[in-house]
Structure 1
Amino acid sequence: MTVTIFSAFVLLLVIRMPVSFSLAISAAIALLFAGSMDPLIVVQRMYTSVESFSLIAIPFFILSGGFMESGGISRRLISFSSSLVGHIRGGLSMISIVAAMFFAGISGSTAADTAAIGSVLIPAMEKKGYGKDLATSVVGTAGAIGIIIPPSIPMIILGITGSISIGGLFLGGVFPGILMGLALMVTSGIFARKRNLPAEPKATWGERWHAFTDSILALMTMVIIMGGILSGVFTATEASVVAAFYSFVVGRFVYGELKWKDIPSIMVKTGITTGVVVLCIATASSFGWILAAEQIPDKIAKAVFALSDNRLVILFLMNALMLFMGTFLDISPIIIILVPILFPIARQLGVTPIHFGIMTIVNMAIGQCTPPVGISLFVATGIAKAKLGEILGAYSKYLLTMVVVLALITVFPQIITFLPQLVMGLR
């Protein structure tokens, strides 16, 4: 059955069938050919996998991002970022990264992060002579920080799949997300010097204070979400509802930029995006169930330990596998298929749940930037109207920077576990 399911899955991908349908159909074909189980089990598994209260957080965080984008919150975050780092050489690229980090703490979505920042700053960078390649590379990779810094939709899916504390994952993503942003800023600084890129006018302390006060309600979203979760006022799922309600009130009644006419289109986009994510979760679950029934995780674990018993070697092999899968699969299927396989191996090596979880999320973030299915890359190139061949030289250096950060958090788990252990006693 193992050969059948993988052969069918690869064949369906080759003929360009959507990943979610490929997962479900290949699972049904495998059961049909096995003859020992009813293919309707696929449907049953799809239903039970999404019958989870925690998954309610997904549509509400997506809705929250939509309200923020239309309600003027994104623009204020960009203005505040500009006042902080715009005066550094290559200022617009620095602003893009800092703004992406701020927006990541609100949206929980790579696509929303990239679109919100890129629609404003990619055209601005092109006008200032940054080049289409650099403008697209900066935004395309910075947008991926959206799933590392909490809140994060993939962290919710990972927490449910691996039975890992979602609050712990949220805390564990803070320092790696900041480290990723700083590393991308260093890379941008090197490009700025090589290309002699301009800096923006330095903001006065008065201008910085004005930008801060103008964006403070947007920044408070992060405080409300994390503060509420850590204080026990509400769960991560309930936090998504609070975030959506808060962003609606701020965008509509405080800033006044969110119009009633915008809401139907935001709701439709939220429904479509949620449908795509949940369908991937459902179909990937049926696929993963068959792998578990065939004892594939145990077989892979034995094969891995046969290669090496060195902890770091095995962790880097896991990273390589997840990075490879990220080039052609979306986040949800990778998490649901690979986490049940790799997490037990990691536990045998003494890797803590939070360390493994954030390592996985960073792999997924890099996957969002890699062709052919990287959503962050596609959004950025779409805004810039750029082809992959045009940007590959600069883009590859930003990707390499992200891989270096992944290596650092793999070797030094304290970067991840320090905050969860300090606040919640989790590792």
Structure 2
Amino acid sequence: MALATLFILLTLFLFFGVPVAVSLGLASLVYIMMAGMPDVLLIHTMIGGIDSFPLLAIPFFILAGHLMNTGGITTKIFAFARALVGWLPGGLGHVNVGASVIFAGMSGAAVADAGGLGNVEIKAMREAGYDTDFSVGVTAASSTIGPIIPPSLPLVIYGVMASVSIGELFAAGLIPGLLMAASLMAMVAWYARARNYPKDSGISLCNIWITFKQAFLPLLTPVIIVGGIATGVFTPTEAAIAAVCYAMFLGLVVYKTLNWKHLVRVSMDTIETSAAILMIVAAAAVFAWILTSNQVAVHLGDAMLGMTTNKTVLLLIMMVMVLAIGLFMETIAAITILVPVLLPIALKAGIDPVHLGILVILNLMLGLLTPPVGMVLFVLSEVSGVKFERCVKATMPFLVPLIIVLLLITFFPQIALWLPTTVYR
């Protein structure tokens, strides 16, 4: 009875728009009181849920992304990407994807990518005569590369929740992220041929060299982060701190685009974002503890394994569950709820948890591009001045290449597992 009440209350709270952290916390508190447990258990479990060293990476990665945005780093990245691939048919569409790949190595969040690069990209594409719908669609889709290519905030959360090496998860995300970029560039090429989109400019090695020199120092950010983790120089948390120090060095010393007023504003934004994420993680820790103590995952796993023992079929069933949750819930919240349920099933079926993590995050990225939540769509609607409904319609075609990549990684796990196996195992 108490467990049924937990799920009913959670569903009702979320339906009526109660914040996810509050919904999880209140529903869990009602369960604890109905079960006759001391209410102080809620606080102890919440504190234990965020008492984790790897979670320190979250505010630092968020701060690094904010510093890069505020310091004008995005314009240098866009200029370099424009010189590099702008000569292709539909040039600015390819530039859009290329810039997202580069920025992914700095921000680790789709919303940061959409907000930071979106304004620059859509403005440039409009001025060049591209359709607004195409500009918004490719910008939205390419922003989902950010949480797949390391560093990645969702992968950090997943790693903590699943007790999986964050370094392995980062390594596993690199090839799928590049595959996403390649599939989106193929889609852009198809649009360019069908609509006769122009090349942005002729290829110029001189221009590539000039913009590369201007963007060289920002481009070192992912090298420092990923290289440092891969070589064992520092942990993912220490890598996040190194990224912040490097971003401050670029903004304060090299480019002089940051001042103390900027730092205060950026710090406050980081505190607000980090607090919201960690509250969700803390509340989800209580929810996960309740599910574990009632063996919900075990019973669900037995039911699913009773249907089939085929790993691929099980993954497809789980991906449908993730997609359904992702349509209605923000990424971090969805991860914290889904991992305690799906991970035991995956382990029982012999599915690699690193492989599962990449699939879950990539699947949840589709939720950022679909209503009713669609956080990236809301951001781009604000940035571009286009109605939300039109943003949804513009983005729909670009879901096709992303779904194809998701299916490829589902059927061929080595796409994600080859690099972490080679480096870490």
TM-score, shorter chain, exceeding 0.5: yes
Distance in structure 2 (CA, Å) of the matches to 1:306 and 1:291: 20
Question: Counterpart of 1:78?
Answer: 78
Quick one: which amino acid aligns to residue 29 of structure 1? V
Equivalent residue for 1:103? Answer: 103
Give % identity: 38
Equivalents in 1 of 2:141, 2:309: separation in Å?
34
Matches within 5 A, 1:16-55: 16-34=17-35, 36-55=36-55
Structure 2: distance between partners of 1:171 and 1:424: 9
Task: Decide whether the 8 Å contact of 1:173 with 1:358 is kept in 2.
Answer: yes
- Equivalent residue of 2:146, what SS? helix
Secondary structure, in 3 states, of the residue corresponding to 2:206? helix
TM-score normalized by the length of structure 1:
0.96
Give secondary structure in 2 for the equivalent of 1:147: coil
Q: Is the Cα contact below 8 Å between 1:148 and 1:365 reproduced in 2?
A: no
Displacement of 1:185 in angstroms is 1.2
Structure 2 unaligned segments of length 5 or more: list them.
none
Distance in structure 1 (CA, Å) of the matches to 2:68 and 2:169: 24
Q: Secondary structure at the match of 1:173?
A: helix
- The equivalences for 1:383-398 within 5 A come to 383-398=383-398
**More divergent stretch after superposition (108-117 vs 390-399):** 390-399
Q: How many residues align?
A: 424
- The SS at the match of 1:89 is coil
Structure 1 residue ranges (4+ consecutive) displaced by more than 3 angstroms after TM superposition: 391-394
Q: Measure how far apart 1:203 and its partner are.
A: 3.5
Q: 1:70 to 1:391 in 2, by over 3 A?
A: closer
SS in 2 for 1:241: helix
Residue 344 of structure 1 deviates from its aligned partner by 2.0
Could you say what secondary structure the match of 2:38 adopts? coil
1:144 corresponds to which residue?
144
Secondary structure of the equivalent of 1:148? coil
Deviations 1:90-117 (A, max 9, x none): 2111111110110001111211111111
Map 1:270-419 → 2, pairs under 5 A? 270-419=270-419
Distance of 1:251 and 1:202 partners within structure 2: 32
Q: Contact 1:156 / 1:166 at 8 angstroms: preserved in 2?
A: yes
Q: How does 1:259-278 map to 2 (within 5 A)?
A: 259-278=259-278
Q: 1:195 deviation in Å?
A: 2.1
Give the Å deviation of 1:416.
0.6
Alignment partners' CA distance in 2, 1:146 and 1:400: 18
- Checking the alignment, whether the CA contact within 8 Å between 1:125 and 1:135 is kept in structure 2 is yes
Could you tell me how far apart the structure 2 residues matched to 1:263 and 1:145 are?
27
Correspondence for 2:219: 219
Q: Give, in whole Å, the separation in 1 of the partners of 2:199 and 2:134.
A: 15
Let me know the Cα RMSD of the aligned residues: 1.4
Q: TM-score, normalised by structure 2?
A: 0.96
**Distance in 2 separating the partners of 1:108 and 1:311:** 29
Moved more, 357-366 or 279-288: 357-366
C-alpha displacement at 1:356, in angstroms?
Answer: 1.5
Where do 1:152-301 residues align within 5 Å?
A: 152-301=152-301
Q: 5+ unaligned residues in a row in structure 1: which ranges? A: none
Contact 1:284 1:332 in 2 (8 A): no
Deviates more, 1:123-132 or 1:292-301: 123-132
Does structure 1 conserve the Cα–Cα contact (< 8 Å) formed by 2:148 and 2:361? Answer: yes
Distance in 2 between the 1:392 and 1:352 partners?
34
Aligned to 1:123: 123
**Cα deviation per residue 1:157-195 (whole Å; 9 max; x = unaligned)?**
111111111111111100000000111111122222222
The Cα shift of 1:374 comes to: 2.4
- Find the aligned partners of 1:39 and 1:332 in 2 and give their Cα distance: 25
| Contact 1:132–1:391 under 8 Å retained in 2 | no
Contact preservation (8 Å) 1:358, 1:416: yes
8 A contact 2:370–2:392 mirrored in 1: no
Report the Cα offset of residue 24 of structure 1: 0.8
For 1:395 and 1:114, locate their aligned partners in 2 and report how far apart those are by CA, in whole Å.
13
Q: Structure 1, residues 21-44: CA drift from partner, whole Å, max 9, x if none?
A: 11111111222233x212332222
